[in-house]
Amino acid sequence: MRQGALEAALLDVVGEEELVTGEGLASYTVDGRQPQVAVRPASVGQVSEVMALAHRLGLGVIPWGSGTMMGLGNIPTRYNLALDLRRLDQLVEHEPADLTLTVQAGMTVARLQEMLAPHEQMIPLDPPWPHQATIGGTLAAAAAGPARCSLGLPRDVTIGIKVVMADGRVTKAGGKVVKNVAGYDLCKLYVGSMGTLAVIVEATFKLLPLPRTRETLAFAFPTPLPAWQAAMEAWRRHLALGSLYLQWQGGPYTLVVRLTGIQEAVDRSLSALAAIAQGLGGETTEVKERWEEAMASPAEARGLTMKLSVSPSRVPACLERLASLSPSLVMAMPLAGICYARWDEAEQPSSLARKAMELAGSLGGTAIIHACEAALKEHVDVFGPLPPSFHIMKAIKERWDPKGNLSPGRFLGRW
């Protein structure tokens, strides 16, 4: 569609102030590609109208939050319109006594946590860079950090969701009470779909009480096995784990643990954790880099970052084999079986990516490219070989988005 005609059609929906063109489009770049235009709708109704227009015209649309995870995925095959949802940033409903909350997709996780703090409550989401990450983006990317051992995953705490379909229809799934079990649990379908099935505009969550006490400890181990054993023993003993991860930059493996809860539970866990670590040869140390500081944003990709997923019992072997590939940094969540490996300077990134995928496969797991420069994506599917379930995913995509308007080419199989 011609630029002028497209802008005129969108002006009727969002108005001139919320239409982005020209130099302003640089901030919506995805893998070196800019959209024809970007819009910033202020209501669910406007999102619906924009998607209905895109559906009629066959436009490629990429939903935007803050963009922190926008580099995750393949290169878009069509990119006509960036749909910026950050103006949808209202708290819709909060029931403190019921520990439930409904919020629009454009609010950041950190801002929502600040609003809940006076009620001594928190939303159990732990994305990287929470001051930038939006609710919708966190759900679309299923982003979860080392607090997943205590908070669970985004799909576990999302009990209701409102989305705008590819043709502009507004639909809901789930509800506003934790015990809602009517119908299929479509919330879990949308969480992690990376903007390929529908545009998330609102979500309902179950909340948790805000921990009264927090303490962070770090222990250095000479090899990954005792570090992993310490993590598993802390989990087995039901210590007050708030978050837990391993980091390696050459030298010792550092286990970083945050304990949260009431004072008595944290005090008991402090002494128990120290005894566990010391019994396995661990020494108290300082945290070199915190999780969010060490994890490079896919939107600002430099070098190569791989995400390997294996059985938790295979984490020590995974870490040992990763060391032979000489990464600049490894960050792992041993209780979840997830290892991130980053190479700041990768002379042969495609070869490294292939080796990491083969490594994970040899351990019965999988690996994807979490972050890389766009040039690599021209030759490699960042999600690796297609899984046996791909035909089911493709069928769902074709039913939900028959014209392929939403994030075309970005998900598995470049679909």
* pLDDT, tens digit, 9 for 90 and up, residues 324-369: 999 999 999 999 999 999 998 777 889 999 999 999 999 999 999 9
Q: What is the mean pLDDT of residues 27-52?
A: 95
Write down the pLDDT at residue 144: 93
The rounded percent of the chain whose pLDDT value lies above 70 is 96
Write down the pLDDT at residue 185: 87
- Least trusted range by pLDDT, from 22-26, 59-63, 274-278: 22-26
**Cα dist. 282→258, 314, 358 in Å?**
16, 20, 31
Work out the pLDDT band at 217, boundaries 50, 70, 90: very high
Q: What is the DSSP string of 346-397?
A: -SSHHHHHHHHHHHHHHTT-EEEEEEE-HHHHTTS-TT-SPPTTHHHHHHHH
- Least trusted range by pLDDT, from 11-20, 110-119, 316-325, 348-357: 11-20
Write down the pLDDT at residue 400: 96
As a whole number of angstroms, the distance between CA 144 and CA 340 comes to: 13
Write down the pLDDT at residue 8: 86
Work out the pLDDT band at 287, boundaries 50, 70, 90: confident
Q: Are 284 and 268 in contact (CB under 8 A)?
A: no
Write down the pLDDT at residue 294: 64
Query: CA angle 219-222-227, nearest 5°?
Result: 50
Residue 314 one-letter amino acid: R
Work out the pLDDT band at 179, boundaries 50, 70, 90: low
Residue 117 has pLDDT above 70, yes or no: yes
**Cα dist. 146→17, 228, 332, 334, 339 in Å?**
40, 14, 8, 9, 11
Work out the pLDDT band at 19, boundaries 50, 70, 90: very high
Write down the pLDDT at residue 289: 64
Q: What is the mean pLDDT of residues 240-262?
A: 95
Work out the pLDDT band at 293, boundaries 50, 70, 90: low
pLDDT, mean over the chain: 92
Q: What is the mean pLDDT of residues 377-404?
A: 93
Q: Are 165 and 400 in contact (CB under 8 A)?
A: yes
Write down the pLDDT at residue 291: 73
Reference 175, options 156, 160, 153; nearest CA is 160
Write down the pLDDT at residue 14: 85
Work out the pLDDT band at 193, boundaries 50, 70, 90: very high
Residue 340 one-letter amino acid: Y
Q: What is the mean pLDDT of residues 369-375?
A: 90
Residue 6 has pLDDT above 90, yes or no: no
* 3-state secondary structure at position 314: helix
pTM value? Answer: 0.93
- Least trusted range by pLDDT, from 102-116, 152-166, 226-240, 337-351: 337-351
Write down the pLDDT at residue 280: 98
Write down the pLDDT at residue 347: 77
The rounded percent of the chain whose pLDDT value lies above 90 is 81
Work out the pLDDT band at 301, boundaries 50, 70, 90: low
As a whole number of angstroms, the distance between CA 407 and CA 130 comes to: 23
Reference 298, options 352, 351, 377; nearest CA is 377
Work out the pLDDT band at 298, boundaries 50, 70, 90: low
Write down the pLDDT at residue 160: 95
Q: What is the DSSP string of 209-241?
A: EPPSEEEEEEEEESSHHHHHHHHHHHHHTT--E
